[in-house]
A and B are shown apart, each in its own frame.
Chain A
């Protein structure tokens, strides 16, 4: 039954590199037509997992199936139906946008009239039509990412595996890239995407939080945010670094995080603690602006859940 629902399924998926256990018995189920976000600290095993799902790396133990195909025995079938965009996608810098697309069309055996039509649509879709004769090396970072995505889509994959496609991309271009992802999602493509940006994780149907090669949480963004204990007070102190130290020592404070010039303080009871926190900081000569109770975002949830894990494992 689950086989039909889960277009990507792994059981006890394990990858060992020498003494390092990169992926440690991962059980993952990605549903058809969802955007599944894979997040986790550096070295959690996200890239290795995606490589195994793309059938370009064999597991040490366990198995993975993509659209029902086994990633080891049926790698060729998988490569035909997935689009895989690695972190460092190899565009040909000396070739133009058009030539890069044509090259990938050749690889996937897309020819003739069909090829012409698809390339035209992809150029339009990725907002690259007016740059089709520019060499890839001369595109900006954000445009290169969009070209890489277009190349990944040339054979109309039903499943997309995207490994940190927006790393190093500015905030405006990132929003554009996600507009494209949303369109693909609406068109019924299943998307598995890893990202270090927690605001992107909020846009996924479900999010898997990886830590040391395993999923420690896998749920809808709202439910993951609900796992954070305590209530959240947000404020803008005149000195964020000193305020962080002072707030950490206050009664009822469970955790303090910084976000830019904002301080996020998790407390047992926000209504009760808000005036105390404000007065406590003022007493130390720190002015406070914009104090309010707010809901934790993915960024806070990520930090809180990972810190909790790290605290349980003092060896790290």
Chain B
């Protein structure tokens, strides 16, 4: 009986990375269970990529420790690399190689050969929906297909765990859904998945989440529990004409103290207003909007989305002292280079 079988997929304890005076990752702790889809969210430059690079053994932590699949990230990174698949922000495919050649190439890197390689390639092609397109140049595939090919390449060696860094950036809504269906199939098959994304609807589909901001974890748990514990106030969704006018009017009323609003922001053509005890403010909100000639089509108190929580977490949490940039645009620092 292997001890690793019973262990968590990831245990990170007080993981910290400093670059000079700058703390990119600041005492970060979390665990990921095997077979779980774990979403790692945060603004650009919050420390997501730096954390992934430490977990992959590419970057040594300044302090703290972590295990991946039961192996220590500093002392046993070779063991980790054999057992994980990684898909970086820029799918590292060879554009002048065909679909099939790209898979051969990654197969060789991971030591998958002969009959097993053929089987795994067939599986990857089927999963990616690229059967019949084996001879096309990877460079000629559009974004969504490249992404699925890159995922296929990352799972050739049947990794126990996948690290996906913004796998759906720039991918259209239909391809994004198809991609997440694939992730679900993999997770059901027992693969642990660590994924970063800026799409908050995708985050809703994760089993557990961590929000990282300025290098620190500011929320951690299931999507449901994060929404319950992190969200102050209720969300009113307003569907109205001239949303820009409506937003300006509500912000003005809030700054004049007529309404105690915590947040007013635009969601596409809809407005989300956050306040405590929302029911009591609905009539005043209505009045203000009508006064500006805004026609209100509907006004519902809705359950907060993770996007609401994300915005409120990022705006609420002040920049830590010595942080080199504004609160929500902390540089990814030197972690990128």
Contact = CB atoms under 8 A, between A and B. Distances in A.
A269 interface: no
Interface stretch (A4-12, A112-120, A163-171): A163-171
A125 interface: no
A91 interface: no
Contacts, number: 148
B186 interface: no
Interface residues of B, number: 60
B250 interface: no
Nearest to B146: A42
Contacts of A196: 170-173
Contact of A43 (B143, B184, B202): B143
Interface stretch (A59-67, A69-77, A198-206): A198-206
Interface in A132-186: 134, 137-143, 164, 167-175, 182
Contacts of B166: 168
A20 B170 contact: no
B329 A173 contact: yes
B331 A138 contact: yes
B323 to A, nearest CB: 12
Interface stretch (A23-31, A246-254, A280-288, A297-305): A297-305
Contacts of A262: 204
B142 A43 contact: yes
B143 A142 contact: no
Nearest to B308: A171
Interface string B202-226: 1111000000000000000001000
B325 A131 contact: yes
Interface in A249-292: 257-262, 289-290, 292
B256 interface: no
Given A42-B142, A141-B44, A202-B268, A170 B170 contact: no
A236 interface: yes
A42 B43 contact: no
Given A182-B244, A241-B184, A302 B325 contact: no
Query: Which of A141, A201, A299 neighbours the largest number of chain B CB atoms within 10 Å of its CB?
Result: A141
B204 A261 contact: yes
A41 B172 contact: yes
B174 A168 contact: no
Contacts of A80: none
A176 B267 CA distance: 13
Contacts of A203: 266, 268-269
Interface stretch (B27-35, B277-285, B299-307): B299-307
A95 interface: no
Contact of B329 (A143, A258, A306): A143
B184 A140 contact: no
B333 A306 contact: no
Contacts of B314: 170, 172
Contacts of A87: 170
Contact of B170 (A168, A171, A292): A168
A81 interface: no
Interface in B313-337: 314-315, 325-326, 328-334, 336-337
B151 to A, nearest CB: 14
Contacts of A198: 173, 268
B1 to A, nearest CB: 33
A237 interface: no
B145 interface: yes
Contact of A170 (B184, B198, B204, B305): B198
A70 B337 CA distance: 42
Interface in B160-211: 166, 169-175, 177, 184, 198, 200-205
A262 B304 CA distance: 12
A165 to B, nearest CB: 11
A111 interface: no
A71 B18 CA distance: 50
Given A138-B333, A172-B328, A290 B144 contact: no
A16 interface: no
B42 interface: yes
A221 interface: yes
B89 interface: yes
A20 B136 CA distance: 11
A41 B176 CA distance: 10
A307 B332 CA distance: 38
Contact of B303 (A143, A168, A240, A289): A289
Nearest to A140: B45
Contact of A140 (B172, B330, B334): B330
A140 B331 contact: yes
Given A260-B305, A297-B270, A41 B177 contact: no
Contacts of B143: 42-43
A140 B332 contact: yes
Contacts of A20: 140
A175 B267 CA distance: 9
Given A41-B174, A137-B336, A303-B173, A260 B203 contact: yes
A174 B311 CA distance: 11
A83 interface: no
17 contacts: A42-B175, A43-B142, A141-B44, A143-B331, A167-B170, A168-B44, A168-B89, A171-B310, A172-B314, A173-B329, A174-B198, A196-B171, A199-B268, A260-B200, A260-B201, A295-B297, A303-B173
